[in-house]
Amino acid sequence: MNRETKRLMRRQGQMEADGSPSTRARSQSPVATRRRQRTSPTQFVREIRDELRQVAWPNRSEMVNYTAVVLTTLVLMVSLIFVLNLGFGKAVLFMFHK
């Protein structure tokens, strides 16, 4: 068990500070606590909208640049795989050809 797991268990009340198992009984199950903390669908949509406002969206020139990089990489990788597949296929057929 690593340090992070021990800290998490201490925060959840499953372990004492000295590392021994907690003797305290939990007042509620985690499922009951989670159900009580649920938000309404409208609150959920509002929070999503607030989070999306904080996103650093790329502008048009950045988007064109990113797209060009992805497409170039894609073409190079497909070409490499095609050439390797063709080469290995020819090699196997040459080795097993009578």
Extents of the domains making up the chain: 28-96
Look at residue 23 and give its three-state secondary structure: coil
pLDDT at 87 over 70: yes
* Residue 58 DSSP code: -
- Using pLDDT thresholds of 50, 70 and 90, give the confidence band for residue 41: very high
Q: Specify whether the CB–CB gap between 14 and 22 falls below 8 A.
A: yes
The pLDDT assigned to 24 comes to 66
pLDDT at 42 over 80: yes
* Whole-prediction pTM: 0.48
